[in-house]
Structure 1
């Protein structure tokens, strides 16, 4: 296969660079308990890792907007102090980033996680310096969708769309990338699966971190 030519690679965070399921699920269960809701079993909450939380709370938990906003505040009570560090970098990520850096690629993060949380996590694990920009949710200024985060990162990097590709693990990454007009590599070591990737039109599918690096 011919190597991909894009020089700018955007990475999702949860499920792509880090395995954050434990902290995200624990924070959700904390929120459910504090808000006197039924506390779901861990196995039943795996779907919440990756999608924007507001979408999860309003659609999957059927909350109205006011309740969802309150749930976000309670969720973050736990996540910002404990949950964000109940997390680990996937095996092979640093080697992949080193490989891509050696190939001269410019890299950034585009995540639906709150931006300040993303920065703290990447710094905590010592991999923040690989990325020129760490872009995330900043709904206070209207940056509240994956597409808007990607657009912000591209603008900050002064990037041309034809020189950019997204790497993610869920349909939200694929949809966000396509909404902006860039292709997406979907990774199988995260929280999505091949069926989801094919359904939502991933441009490439990579099974491992090594496979991602070898595409370039």
Structure 2
């Protein structure tokens, strides 16, 4: 087995959360009294840190973005939108098989860590809750490189040639490059084939099941 440690992104890789994120953004934009708050391309909003998206896509100041993020969480967390996301086809079986093979399985996401852990637990995946790393409640540790680095350091994973990052956006691939690990771009998520190819993943796959042929 070439890769004994598999790190997954969450949104767009393990779970299809497009509708839940779209509804939460629209809720927040309505609360912020943004005209024409209908989201037409949610894919572009999934992947970057939330505060970054609210500033760069919608033009909010940092203070406004923080307020908008609280509104987002009101719908996404308090109203339970986050639990409506579905696993992509083959995820449950593939993760279970990797667990049976003895792989160290973890999640590295820019989603809030507490919420990410709740989602993974709810989905009943064979990934231990403490192996789910994400952004802190105050919005810090939102960089994919740092999230991956902290995870590897905390578990004393020093042989990076055995580690594989699996994600659907260029952020995942670039983060993997920056920490010196191989990567897999999944073509079924939120990122385009061109976006992933330009980022330079080690592998590209069309379905999560193909991961079993790589490791």
User: TM-score per shorter chain, which class?
Assistant: over 0.9
Cα deviation, residue 6, structure 1: 1.9
Give the match for residue 141 of structure 2: 143
Give the match for residue 200 of structure 1: 199
Tell me, yes or no, if the aligned pair for 1:25 and 1:49 is still in contact at 8 Å. no
- Which blocks of at least 5 consecutive residues in structure 1 are unaligned? none
Give the match for residue 63 of structure 2: 66
Give the match for residue 83 of structure 1: 81
Tell me, yes or no, if the aligned pair for 1:188 and 1:194 is still in contact at 8 Å. yes
TM-score, normalised with respect to structure 2: 0.92
The number of residue pairs the alignment matches comes to: 213
TM-score, normalised with respect to structure 1: 0.92
Distance of aligned partners of 1:47 and 1:142 in 2 relative to their CA distance in 1, 3 Å threshold: closer
Q: Residue 15 of structure 2 is aligned with which of 15, 18, 23? A: 18
Give the match for residue 158 of structure 1: 156
Cα deviation, residue 214, structure 1: 1.4
Classify the secondary structure of the residue corresponding to 1:140. Answer: coil
Cα deviation, residue 139, structure 1: 5.5
- Which blocks of at least 5 consecutive residues in structure 2 are unaligned? none
When the two chains are superposed, the root-mean-square deviation of aligned CA atoms in Å is 1.7
User: Hey, which bits of structure 1, 4+ residues long, moved more than 6 A?
Assistant: none
Give the match for residue 112 of structure 2: 114
In the aligned structure 2, how far is the partner of 1:74 from the partner of 1:173? Answer: 27
Cα deviation, residue 163, structure 1: 2.0
Cα deviation, residue 41, structure 1: 2.9
Deviations 1:95-149 (A, max 9, x none): 1112212322111000000000001111111115456611011163841211111
